[in-house]
Structure 1
Amino acid sequence: MLSNVTAFVTGASGGIGREIAETFADRGANVAVAARSDGIYETVDAIGEEQALAVECDVTEEDSVEAAIEATVERFGSLDCVVNNAGVAGPVEPFDRVDSEDFLDVQAVNVAGALSCVKHAAPHLRDSEQGSVVNIASIGGKRPYPNRSPYAASKMGLVGLTRTLAYELGRDDVTVNSVLPGPVEGDRIEEVVAKQAELATVENAEPASIGPDDFALPDFYIPKSDVAEQVAYLAGPNARKVTAQEIAVDAGGTWY
């Protein structure tokens, strides 16, 4: 299904990113595993060096992104898909307690980092016969996320970036979509839930919680594999007419 694809996956040192990289490799793709942390080497070990390349990359540094893209093309000879998964959760605070620098730091990774990756990959994507970009957004970009204003703003920004890039790259037959996960199983959601609970001791702060009433399905925690499967579909041959879309993998947590 992806045997002719070379993918560049950011934030692939663990979590969703590692799951995406392994899923692509299982379907025959070559994968550049990009992140700031040493976990990328564990991901490559899990996949095998014949199909995977570890590239240290900080998406907030454009020179780092450019070098990582170049290393990918040098190793595999092409680049067909960019998966912008690198992201930070940001502060869990009421909006009036959020430091402006912390707010901008979240945008730098979650939005500007994605733009930088597509910018430097674009010449190669345009040359590909099935160029694609998949941005990992969140249901936080479509519904209220109390005490998560920097994160929610960044994910809505990523949705807007997705739609715009789809039109700018569409003339060259490059598809651009975003996947919106709900609460994905793992350490990150547990940390966020714990931080929300801590706000009970903060004056004028109201902790937010998630539960079955917020979702259509009672079992609303999302397996990483469900997200990875959707990303692989969007990068594959059966999604060539799917572009400029936000596809939620969220147990019915968003309704538009």
Structure 2
Amino acid sequence: MEQLKLVIITGVTKGLGRSLVNRFDELGWRVAGCGRSKHLIEEMNLQFKGKHDFQPVDITNETEVEKWAKSVIALYGLPDLLINNASIINKNTSTWEIASKEFKDVMNINVMGVVNVIQAFVPEMVTKNKGMIINISSSWGRKGEAGLAAYCASKFAIEGLTQSMAMELPNNMAVVALDPGGSINTEMLNYGAQKYVAGSPSPEKWSKVAVQYLLSLTIQNNGQSLTCPCPN
């Protein structure tokens, strides 16, 4: 029996991550995902009746991430695709007024969370010279936006991290930074940049284009800063 393709997705309980789960499920992939909400994770495991594996994990906690990665690899093997999706946004406010804790929380989840996941999964992927890594970035990781300094700083960091990592991977692997392609109507956007909500596509509509685009990427895209096509 042929082994199912495996995708790892962080931040699966809401927004883009949740919609990605639906698309990969439709394609017959196995999804191993994580999120912070135990309640929502439990709901997802009940909904998919064992087809996929969802675990409550705080990606800022290095020990939790390592334990999760070891469990996933032991059960299902190495991922064909690793999507670092989990992130948060800061409340829209000027750089000198944002609370220090909120700035740190954004950086911890959006940057250190990605680093923790990479360090937990990628060493074995490199050993086997297998898999692609997608780091979800943003157009605000390539240009600034008033009121979103913390979020922009975190996504600029993801762009640099991706470019450096690309130079380190073996020839048969790739990592890219992916801008979803503009604003998507998520809870996060409503919190941090409400003025962009009107006219923005839903995560479900976005994911129907995004997953096909992701699956078209190859090792030739290694290190690139890409933008997902907008849904019609």
Instruction: Determine if the TM-score, normalized by the shorter chain, exceeds 0.5.
Output: yes
Report the residue type matching 1:73 in the other structure: I
Structure 1 counterpart of 2:210, from 230, 235, 256: 230
Offset at 1:101? 3.1
CA contact (8 A) 2:8 2:33 kept: yes
Distance 1:79 1:224 in 2: 23
Unaligned runs of 5+ in 1: 195-208, 212-218, 252-256
CA contact (8 A) 1:130 1:173 kept: yes
Distance 1:28 1:124 in 2: 24
CA gap of 1:28–1:187, structure 2 versus 1, over 3 A, is same
| 2:227 counterpart of 1:248 | yes
Partner of 2:43: 42
Distance 1:145 1:41 in 2: 36
Offset at 1:245? 1.5
| 2:124 counterpart of 1:124 | yes
What percentage of residue pairs aligned between the two structures are identical?
24
Partner of 2:82: 82
TM value normalised by structure 2: 0.86
Distance 2:108 2:98 in 1: 16
Deviations 1:25-75 (A, max 9, x none): 22222111201112223333444413x111221111100110111111122
Report the residue type matching 1:44 in the other structure: N
Distance 2:207 2:161 in 1: 20
Task: Give structure 1 regions of 4+ aligned residues with deviation exceeding 6 angstroms.
Answer: none
Aligned length: 226
Distance 2:92 2:201 in 1: 21
Distance 1:128 1:237 in 2: 22
CA contact (8 A) 1:166 1:244 kept: yes
Partner of 1:177: 176
CA gap of 1:92–1:115, structure 2 versus 1, over 3 A, is same
Distance 1:21 1:62 in 2: 24
Matches within 5 A, 1:1-256: 4-38=4-38, 39-50=40-51, 52-128=52-128, 130-169=130-169, 171-181=170-180, 182-194=182-194, 209-210=195-196, 221-225=200-204, 226-227=206-207, 229-231=209-211, 233-234=213-214, 236=215, 239-249=218-228, 251=230
Distance 1:221 1:232 in 2: 20
CA gap of 1:119–1:231, structure 2 versus 1, over 3 A, is farther
CA contact (8 A) 1:220 1:250 kept: no
Distance 2:124 2:5 in 1: 12
CA contact (8 A) 2:24 2:31 kept: yes
State the secondary structure of the residue aligned to 2:96.
Answer: helix
Offset at 1:100? 2.8
CA contact (8 A) 2:210 2:229 kept: no
CA contact (8 A) 2:184 2:203 kept: yes
Distance 1:43 1:89 in 2: 24
Offset at 1:131? 0.5
Distance 1:124 1:26 in 2: 28
CA gap of 1:184–1:26, structure 2 versus 1, over 3 A, is same
Larger Rg: 1
Unaligned runs of 5+ in 2: none
CA gap of 1:55–1:228, structure 2 versus 1, over 3 A, is farther
State the secondary structure of the residue aligned to 2:220.
Answer: coil
